[in-house]
Amino acid sequence: MEKGSGTLGRGALCAALLVGAAALLLGGCGGDDDGVERTAAPELPQLTRFQTALRRLPIRQPPLRIQSYLVTGRKHAVVALLRPEDFFCGRPPAERIAAIRALYRVVSRRFAVAGIERFGLAIGELTPRVVGFDVYARIKDGRVALTSAGRGRGSC
């Protein structure tokens, strides 16, 4: 409980839910003699090489503080999403391009380790919308092209 509030804080609530879920998964709350037949938990599907590589991409790390990655419908196409201020503020276009190239090198290495040689990468604006966001840059074969939105000044 949060001090003096009489309610569980978010962290305490999450911990309580995880403990409860673990108890259910490990045999329920009633023990083995509760008369309920137990079955094995279904196996989780294995991650693909692409999904594994995605999980290893940098989040909230320099040079670009990517907040999340959006996978598009195209094969191995990814949009790295970041806050506009992390892209624009204090960075002229040449520095943006250098930061994007640095990110591309990391992404390229992680995908290569997973056996993925061809992929698409774009840099976009983090918004609550999944469609209709600004794309700041597209990277193809290591070549960075800023879009008109990416060449702009943004708001700092």
Q: What is the pLDDT of residues 98-153, one digit of tens each?
A: 999 999 999 999 999 999 999 999 999 999 877 788 999 999 888 999 999 999 98
Per-residue pLDDT, 24:
37
pLDDT at 14 over 80: no
pLDDT confidence of residue 135: 95
Q: What is the pLDDT, as a whole number, of residue 83? A: 95
**Per-residue 3-state assignment (H helix, E strand, C coil) for the chain:** CCCCCCCCCHHHHHHHHHHHHHHHHCCCCCCCCCCCCCCCCCCCCCCCHHHHHHHCCCCCCCCCCEEEEEECCCCCEEEEEECHHHHHCCCCHHHHHHHHHHHHHHHHHHHHHCCCCCCEEEEEECCCCCCCCCEEEEEECCEEEECHHHHCCCCC
Asked if the model's pLDDT at residue 23 lies above 60, the reply is: no
The pLDDT of residue 26 is above 80: no
